[in-house]
């Protein structure tokens, strides 16, 4: 491809292809983590509880969101690779065709994210995944705290609801951090209003 008014078209197309490739690789990473987070959340809903249906809906939402992003990412990666090859082959017609295709997929991806943002659905992959991971980790922390508290405060006569022998464990059910705080308040361990 000859320079257009001194502008290096080939280098520009190669740069755009590389940018699209990296963007779709990031989308692919997001989608994989969302699918994992969705599967983890659905797995936590298997234990019968009052919130199992809500937990399953949360997991299914993450799973669907991740699968759709995965399809966008794979299609975009395919287009960006072909665009890169077209730039290397110095084929302007092929470059134009595949650049338009790659940009259209990127636009659809953006619109999908924007629509979910407006509707209040799951948009932030890092927040969703970290929330699932932190929820499991936080139960471990609360479990340790509860054991130490019971060892020091013998006047509180109640069992640890997060004990590994109990059916409600972090491995089987998704427990929101707000529930932990509410339970603690209900037992008189934290003053109301804090």
Q: Are 173 and 49 in contact (CB under 8 A)?
A: yes
Do 174 and 113 fall into the same domain? no
Please check whether residue 2 lies inside any domain of the structure: no
By the 10 Å C-beta count (0-12 exposed, 13-18 middle, 19+ buried), 155 is classed as exposed
Range of the domain at 108: 9-123
Name the packing angle between helices 125-152 and 177-186 (round to 10°): 30
Q: Are 160 and 147 in contact (CB under 8 A)?
A: yes
Please check whether residue 16 lies inside any domain of the structure: yes
CA-nearest of 111, 100, 97 to 68 is 111
Query: 147: which 2 tokens?
Result: 């054991």
6-63: per-residue pLDDT in tens? 446 667 777 777 777 787 787 788 778 778 877 777 776 565 554 566 667 777 777 7
Q: What is the pLDDT of residue 148?
A: 53
Do 172 and 76 fall into the same domain? no
Q: Are 76 and 58 in contact (CB under 8 A)?
A: no
| pTM of this structure | 0.49
CA distance 39 to 59: 6
Q: Is the pLDDT of residue 193 over 80?
A: no
62-107: per-residue pLDDT in tens? 778 778 778 878 887 887 788 777 777 777 777 777 777 777 777 7
């Amino acid at each position: 491809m000859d320079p257009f008014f001194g502008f290096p078209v080939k280098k520009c197309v190669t740069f755009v292809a590389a940018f699209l490739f990296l963007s779709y690789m990031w989308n692919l990473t997001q989608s994989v983590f969302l699918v994992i987070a969705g599967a983890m959340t659905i797995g936590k809903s298997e234990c019968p509880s009052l919130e199992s249906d809500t937990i399953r809906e949360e997991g299914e939402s993450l799973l669907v969101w991740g699968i759709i992003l995965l399809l966008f990412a794979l299609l975009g990666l395919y287009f960006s690779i072909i665009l890169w090859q077209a730039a290397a082959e110095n084929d302007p017609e092929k470059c134009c065709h595949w650049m338009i295709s790659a940009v259209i997929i990127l636009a659809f991806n953006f619109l999908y994210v924007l629509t979910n943002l407006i509707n209040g659905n799951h948009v932030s992959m890092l927040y969703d995944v970290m929330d699932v991971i932190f929820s499991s980790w936080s139960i471990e922390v609360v479990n340790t705290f509860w054991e130490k508290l019971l060892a020091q405060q013998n006047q509180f006569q109640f069992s640890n609801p997060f004990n590994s022998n109990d059916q409600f464990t972090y491995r089987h059910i998704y427990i929101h951090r707000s529930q932990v705080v509410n339970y603690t308040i209900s037992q008189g361990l934290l003053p109301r209003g804090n």
